[in-house]
A and B are shown apart, each in its own frame.
Chain A
Amino acid sequence: MPQEHRLILKHADQPGYTPDIECYIRHGGYEALRKALATPGRDLPDGKKMSSREVIRDEVLKSGLRGRGGAGFSAGLKWSFVDRRSGKPIYLICNADESEPGTFKDRQILHKDPHQLVEGMIISCWANDVKLAYIYIRGEMPHGARLLNKALDEARAKGFLGKNILGSGADLEIHVHRGAGAYICGEETGLIESLEGKRPYPRIKPPYFPAVLGLYMCPTIVNNVETLCHVRHIVNMGGAEYAKLGTPNNTGTRIISLSGDVRKPGYFEVEVGKVTLGEVIYNESFGGGLKPGRTLKAIIPGGSSSKVLKAGEKFKLRKKGADGQMVAVDTDLLDLPYDFDSLQQAGTMSGSGAVIVMDDTREIVDVLANVSEFYAHESCGQCTPCREGALWMSKALHRMTTGGGRSQDADYLLHIAQNIQGRTICAFGEAAAWPVLSFVKKFKDDFVARGKADEEARAKGMIPTAHH
């Protein structure tokens, strides 16, 4: 029977566990920092020497840690892209702007165990020669910001932060910066612009890759809260040992936020890939199944921007067979391992780890109208396809949910969405387009039927035709 594997949330929900530093230290806190600072350099076979900082970075690379914010990119590789020869300071930013609908994992850490993040950040900053770091926290989490500031004060008082950390000679300052409530500030270059005091318009890449031209045009690392916490555990365990958690290329643990039509919505930390999507929803350790008498209709597997999965879908997953050859294995939706690669092969993504379940009581058109309204509201409006397309889709869906549907609206929506994805400055274009593309493609009958019903109702004079 699959169980949670709590690494990050090991203590968070234990009775009596408090977010202050004394409690954290009692539970082994800041030992990883001491260990990191004491890490010896390493002699390489070719006679070159790896500095102790490089050793930590190498351990993170070996751990296979992938970003927990949404893209699932290798954290170690991301660090390796940092321009270390520019002569400019290197900045690290913790992206705590958790805003993807359905996602409520980072706030568990921020509210219950902020020192874990602080320790992860201090180690990551030390390993990357960062002397100034920021935590960009969502404006809607004022309590988290207060706790973080308190945690930083405590860490400073204990000598974990500030000048000459634990006598190592290394300096670091961390500032908390509160956002003002825009989803786009979670996009790393939008976040950087916002942190610089500007409108959070994502930057064009090229040339503004944060690893080279980030905050104040200096090399910058932007990592998610959960990702930075994992660094602490990688240092504690060693990269190779950490990589044994989870499955190959999908290592470690991650926190799933489960919501929607399940009996027990909540957050669960699991080994990546060791639990299937079906288990997340139905197992008593996790979602505990659907409400009585309901059947599954659809699953949004990785936050509202990920492509929807339809109940009963089957996928061909490439897997290593017994002879070591890659073979395609027929896999039912509910048997998809909840990891980065399997969901990608299923045409969607595990994104921010937010699983949203919809049962047969949900009207798909209404669900998409809701999701679409969010993206129309949150599009920053910088580039044309997303600015105009996101609101266009939302207006069309609003029309469809208020009696103005047309039988051609399914194709109309696909047409708009196809002209957004891949043509925008940032991934928000995909975030706005993918729900529409996937919902309409997979539930086309629902959309066509809604449109036809409205047409017939209008023909009979049952609905005013003011929409046209």
Chain B
Amino acid sequence: MSNAPTTAPAPTAPPPVEKIRIKVDGREIDVPKMMPDWQGKLVPTTMLQACQIAAQEVPHYCYHPKLPIAGNCRMCLVEFGTPVMDPATKKPVVNEDGSPKIARSVLPYEPGTPRGAIACATPISPGMEIYPSSPATKQMREAVLESLLINHPLDCPICDQAGECKLQEYSVQHGQAASRFVEPKVHKPKAVDLGPRIVLDDERCVLCTRCIRFTRDVAGDDALGIVNRGSYNTISAAPGKQFDNNYTLNTVDICPVGALTSKDFRFKMRVWFLKETKSVCTSCSTGCNITIGSRENVIHRYEPRDNDAVNASWMCDAGRLNYTWVGRADRLQEVRVRGERSTWPVALAQITEHLRQAAEGSVAIIASARQTTEELYLLRRLAVRLGAITDAVEREGEADRLLVSADRNPNSQGARLTGIAYTEIGISIPTIADGIRAGRIRTLVVFGEDVTKVGIDAALLAKVETLIVSDILPNATTAAAHYLLPGCAHAEKRGTFINGKGRVQKFMKAVEPRGDARPEWEFLAEVAKALGTADGFTTIEGLFNRMASEVPALAGVEWSKLGDTGVTVPV
């Protein structure tokens, strides 16, 4: 399956990165001359990037590493200096102690007054000195914050952004306690319905234009703009138009203040109560990295998590809002054997014994490409032991130009690489149906799919002598199961998915499973061990590492090396 070349090309050393020596707050540092811009193109390094390398935070509102630079908030103004050059010799002028003479930036028409440059857009030059902590820099920040707050409603106690608001944070870090403003404030529209998922409070807006740039330059939908002028500037959707593309909720994430809020999340939970869990979106094979925000076993939101190899800083609205099923009231919570409530030991013992006695070729396994790679691996081990035919279920939709993949399964590559399915997922299901029809297949194992929707209808399913089903939500297949094993949503367990491009990504557990539900890998490992086809695994780490040592495509990959953003394997 892998198209990786059998002989790796001789490793060539990457070209040396050209560095520039500058000073940040008096500390000498070498920074790359060129660094990636918002599209990843190498351009001259900016003062802001250099300060980040020097671990000096430069506060900013409008700058976002994944958006074109606007330079409008002026929060990142910093005082700086450049070496004085002798106009005749073109050589640096030195002080008495031999150090280069630095000319601090001043207003050209008022040489006694320091002048700042916006760190987000000003390239560094050799010998430059940046003063992100100087009194002049601090004064400039104070002044910008004062300006941003004069017309702000100061309604933090009822603002959804409180706790993750840059206006709050910077006001504490860089602002001043009192405002001199004694004039009437500008009033602007409140609770503006921008679209099906977004509400805008124009009074809280700092007009950084991140939302405008995102939807225009990233999402490709020039839907937002500014109307009116000056202090009355107001963000607005085009008249008569809805802001309704599939990426609108990203503007809520990047809005540095409480102007844009999510209709789904607003007023539900104070953000400081949320537990944040690193996870992966399951809505398609792109595998956008997400952070699950939960509290007391209830998921309140998904947010995209930065991963340049996958989703940059974004995710689609459909994926983001696809979490409510985890908390559905009709979740399968009980182990059932032939319709009766049972227990894991009883059910697993019976299943193990049944499978042990099953004739070679009499078992078929239909897994789900929504399952974790580890679960698919264990099902494959069982299939090998039982001589079972396996497959998974294809799930196709329409792709878009940004993140949404046509393949709506999160782990199709996992199904392929573990050998559960062929390149064309689902190609063996008609064969399985024929086997049932002909009576050759008498035991059917189904994980996480409703096979009545893919050609094995209820009548055919009734011919199966032993139907072993694990799922999360009820469906026609779970209703027909002889053994029903409640499973876990990805948010209730750990594991990995392999995205369409071969990115192996792990996700962590955010909430506890419901009722009797157990992570599928746990009970599959027990069955596999009992049948002698796998070790007993008590940790996901051990299981993953064993799988990686057996699945060729995963050679050399270890759980501990996956990090937060995963590794890419050849697919």
Stretch from B118-126, B353-361, B507-515 forming part of the interface with A? B118-126
- Contact, CB under 8 Å: B77 / A423: yes
CA distance A204 to B232 in the complex (A): 22
Contact residues of B between 45 and 99, Cβ < 8 Å to A? 69-75, 77
Find out whether the CB atom of B118 lies under 8 angstroms from the CB atom of A377: no
Contact B71 A422 (CB under 8 A): no
**Contact of A381 with B232 at beta-carbon distance under 8 Å, contacts A199-B226, A423-B77 already known:** yes
Instruction: Please tell me if B449 contacts chain A, counting CB pairs below 8 Å.
Output: no
Residues of A near B73 (CB, < 8 A) are 383-384
- Closest residue on chain A to residue B117 by CB atoms: A206
A423 with B207: CB separation less than 8 A: no
Cα A292 to Cα B465 in complex, Å, equals: 116
Interface residue tally for chain A (C-beta within 8 Å): 38
CB-CB contacts below 8 Å: A382-434 with B: 382-385, 387-392, 395-396, 399, 406, 412, 415, 419, 421-425, 430
Establish whether residues A385 and B231, one from each chain, have CB atoms under 8 Å apart when the complex forms: no
- Known A-B contacts A387-B207, A388-B148, A395-B184; the reply to A422 vs B229 at CB < 8 A is no
Chain A's closest residue to B152 (CB) is: A388
- Asked if A218 lies at the interface with its beta carbon under 8 angstroms from chain B, I say no
B146 at interface by CB-CB < 8 Å: yes
Select which of B115, B183, B186 is within 8 A of A399 by beta carbon.
B183
What is the CA–CA distance of A388 and B205 in the complex, to the nearest angstrom?
13
Q: Is the CB of A422 within 8 A of B232?
A: no
Inside 8 A of B472's CB, which chain A residues have their CB?
Answer: none
Q: Say whether B230 contacts A390, CB under 8 Å.
A: yes
**B121-A207 in contact (CB<8A):** yes
What's the least CB distance linking B45 to chain A, in Å? 13
Residue A379 at the B interface, CB < 8 A? yes
- Indicate if B233 sits at the interface (CB-CB under 8 A): yes
Nearest chain-A residue to B143 (Cβ)? Answer: A419
A378 contacts B by Cβ under 8 Å: yes
Number of A-B contacts (CB under 8 A): 104
- Cα A143 to Cα B190 in complex, Å, equals 42
B229–A380 CB distance below 8 A: yes
A182 in the interface (beta carbon within 8 A): yes
> Assuming the A-B contacts A199-B225, A204-B69, are A383 and B181 also in contact, with contact meaning beta carbons closer than 8 angstroms in the complex?
no
- CB within 8 A of B71: which of A204, A378, A388, A395? A204
What is the bound-complex CA distance between A415 and B181, given in angstroms? 11
> Given A204-B121, A423-B74, do A385 and B226 touch, yes or no (CB 8 Å)?
no
Known: A382-B72, A385-B147, A388-B150. A206 touches B231 (CB 8 A): no
Of all chain B residues, the one with the shortest Cβ separation from A349 is B109
B488 within 8 A of A: no
Picked from A381, A399, A421, the residue with its CB within 8 Å of the CB of B233 is A381
A282 CB, min distance to chain B CBs, angstroms = 28
| Inter-chain contact A468/B182, CB cutoff 8 Å | yes
Complexed CA–CA distance, A378 and B122 (Å) = 27
Instruction: Check if B148 sits within 8 Å of A206, measured CB to CB.
Output: no
Taken together as a complex, chains A and B put the C-alpha atoms of A182 and B230 apart, in Å, by: 11
CB-based contact A381/B182 at 8 Å: no
Q: Please indicate the chain A residues that have their CB under 8 angstroms from the CB of B218 in the complex.
A: none
Q: Which residues of B contact A423 (CB under 8 A)?
A: 74, 77, 116, 140, 143-144
For B123, list chain A residues within 8 Å (CB): 206
B230 close to A380 (CB less than 8 A): yes
Q: Are A385 and B74 in contact (CB under 8 A)?
A: yes
Residues of chain A within 8 A (CB-CB) of B110 are 421-422
Q: Are B207 and A381 in contact (CB under 8 A)?
A: yes
Inter-chain contacts of A344 with B (CB < 8 A): 109
CB distance from A156 to the nearest CB of B (A): 36
A351 to chain B, nearest CB (A): 12
Known A-B contacts: A382-B72, A390-B231, A430-B109. Give 5 more (CB < 8 A). Answer: A344-B109, A378-B230, A381-B228, A381-B232, A384-B147
25 contacts between A and B (CB under 8 A): A199-B225, A201-B72, A206-B122, A376-B230, A378-B229, A381-B228, A381-B230, A381-B231, A382-B72, A382-B207, A383-B72, A384-B147, A385-B144, A387-B147, A387-B207, A387-B233, A388-B147, A392-B183, A396-B182, A396-B183, A421-B110, A422-B107, A423-B74, A430-B109, A468-B182
